[in-house]
């Protein structure tokens, strides 16, 4: 996935300048095609990277990015010394690791079970329904969570009361927050995440399965020895990508689920960046937090990819 492995540096660049210039002329139209996309990433993705400098400065809007005073690592020092640093680090890791442990295997299992279902209409119906939550917005998902988990009127607590359990204040509970976040994530993502595995399974060699069946292999054995190996490369790529964003818990959903009561369990790096930056207007500090986050993510991604290439021969690059 996303790999440029195997393509060598364009030979045109190595041969004489004249030839590559002629090639360049010949494909000028392709550059016209590329122009809007290139302009966009240069102006809106690469140009802002220059603004990362303010992580090492005491940024004042009036002085501009370059004109503001250098302060070295002061902003990072402030981050590491702050009360919130261990809290947001722990919360971010908790949410992403739990999402990984719970959310990674389930779509695989779902796809494997669905693949065994020979009744095509039922299979399609289950699949269609399982995709639906993916199309529901974060705002709506979070409000459904709040409505369902409401201690007074929510359906979940009515059910618990029926079993003789007292109402639980889910949204105020620091210990339950991670489960609310992760399980609602599973609800929303299970079907959609399984598409890639279902697609891979449809490519399994029928002859191989039949041969295994004739040799007396049971369904479980066929799944373990024929189907799962087909999924391994896809699994590894997705696993690496998820590991690479271990500190990348997005703000969109967490921010909406935060309450004053659960904040010590629900403040993560990205929401902290948002609050420090745009609400407290502490631009330099917020950028420093973000940079710390990006650097750690990149390091994890590189390390995990290296390990995966070594151990399983699968990797992003």
Please identify, using beta-carbon distances, which residue of 95 and 269 lies nearer to another protein: 269
Q: Exactly one of 82, 94, 167, 297 binds another protein (CB under 8 A); which one?
A: 297
* Paired tokens of 214: 């004739």
Specify the stretch interacting with another protein by CB under 8 A; choose among 76-84, 89-97, 173-181, 198-206. Answer: 198-206
Q: Provide the minimum distance between the beta carbon of 43 and another protein in the complex, in angstroms, as a whole number.
A: 8
Nearest to 240 by CA among 112, 122, 141, 104: 104
Residue 253: its H or E element: helix 251-257
Residues 12-71, interacting with another protein (CB under 8 A)? 12-13, 20, 23-24, 26-27, 29-34, 36-38, 40-41, 43-52, 54, 65
Q: How many helices (H) and strands (E) does the chain have?
A: 18, 2
Q: Which residues contact 88 (CB under 8 A, 6 or more apart)?
A: 267, 268, 269, 272
Q: Does 305 bind another protein (CB under 8 A)?
A: no
Q: Provide the minimum distance between the beta carbon of 216 and another protein in the complex, in angstroms, as a whole number.
A: 7
Nearest to 308 by CA among 247, 243, 246: 243
Alpha helices in 117-227 (DSSP H): 120-131, 138-149, 155-162, 177-201, 206-214, 219-222
Using CB under 8 A as the criterion, what x/- string covers residues 253-292 for binding another protein? --xx----x-----------xx--xx----x--xx--xx-
Q: Provide the minimum distance between the beta carbon of 168 and another protein in the complex, in angstroms, as a whole number.
A: 13
Q: Quickly tell me which residue has 């992580």 as its tokens.
A: 55
Q: Provide the minimum distance between the beta carbon of 61 and another protein in the complex, in angstroms, as a whole number.
A: 8
Q: Provide the minimum distance between the beta carbon of 45 and another protein in the complex, in angstroms, as a whole number.
A: 5
Handedness of CA 49, 54, 56, 62 (dihedral sign): positive
DSSP label at 71?
-
Q: Is 228 helix (H, G, I), strand (E, B) or coil?
A: helix
Please identify, using beta-carbon distances, which residue of 84 and 251 lies nearer to another protein: 251
Residues 157-186, interacting with another protein (CB under 8 A)? 158, 161, 171-172
Q: Provide the minimum distance between the beta carbon of 47 and another protein in the complex, in angstroms, as a whole number.
A: 6
Handedness of CA 99, 4, 314, 192 (dihedral sign): positive
Residues 220-249, interacting with another protein (CB under 8 A)? 220-221, 234, 237, 244
What does the CA dihedral 127, 133, 135, 136 come to, rounded to 10 degrees? 160
Q: Provide the minimum distance between the beta carbon of 140 and another protein in the complex, in angstroms, as a whole number.
A: 5
Specify the stretch interacting with another protein by CB under 8 A; choose among 71-79, 88-96, 97-105, 146-154. Answer: 146-154
Nearest to 252 by CA among 185, 300, 303, 200: 185
Handedness of CA 243, 310, 303, 200 (dihedral sign): negative
Q: Does 103 bind another protein (CB under 8 A)?
A: no
Specify the stretch interacting with another protein by CB under 8 A; choose among 76-84, 88-96, 174-182, 296-304. Answer: 296-304
The Cα diameter of the chain in Å comes to: 84
Q: Exactly one of 66, 121, 137, 214 binds another protein (CB under 8 A); which one?
A: 137
Q: Does 88 bind another protein (CB under 8 A)?
A: no
Q: Provide the minimum distance between the beta carbon of 197 and another protein in the complex, in angstroms, as a whole number.
A: 9
């Amino acid at each position: 996935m996303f790999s440029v492995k195997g393509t060598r540096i364009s030979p045109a660049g190595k041969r004489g300048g004249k030839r590559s210039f002629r090639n360049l002329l010949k494909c000028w139209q392709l550059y016209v095609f590329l122009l809007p996309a290139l302009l966009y990433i240069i102006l809106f993705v690469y140009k802002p990277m220059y603004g990362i400098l303010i992580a090492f400065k005491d940024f004042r809007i009036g002085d501009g990015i370059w004109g503001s005073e250098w302060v070295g690592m002061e902003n990072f020092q402030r981050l590491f010394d702050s009360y919130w640093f261990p809290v947001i680090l722990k919360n971010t890791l908790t949410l992403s690791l739990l999402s990984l442990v719970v959310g990674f295997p389930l779509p695989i299992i779902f796809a494997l079970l669905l693949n065994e279902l020979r009744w095509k209409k039922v299979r399609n119906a289950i699949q269609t329904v399982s995709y639906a939550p993916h199309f529901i917005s974060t705002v709506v998902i979070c409000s459904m969570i709040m409505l369902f988990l409401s201690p007074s009127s929510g359906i979940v607590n009515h059910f618990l009361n029926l079993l003789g359990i007292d109402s639980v204040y889910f949204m105020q509970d620091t210990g339950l927050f991670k489960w609310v976040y992760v399980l609602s994530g599973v609800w929303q993502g299970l079907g959609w995440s399984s598409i890639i595995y279902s697609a891979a399974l449809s490519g399994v060699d029928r002859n191989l399965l039949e041969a295994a069946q004739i040799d007396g292999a049971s369904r479980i054995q066929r799944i373990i020895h024929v189907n799962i190996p087909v999924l391994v490369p896809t699994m590894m790529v997705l696993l690496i990508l998820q590991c690479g964003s271990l500190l990348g818990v997005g703000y969109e959903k967490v921010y909406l689920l935060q309450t004053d009561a659960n904040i010590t369990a629900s403040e993560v790096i990205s929401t902290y960046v948002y609050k420090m930056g745009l609400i407290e207007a502490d631009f330099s500090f917020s950028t420093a937090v973000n940079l710390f986050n990006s650097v750690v993510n990149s390091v994890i991604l590189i390390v995990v990819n290296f390990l995966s290439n070594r151990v399983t021969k699968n990797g992003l690059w």
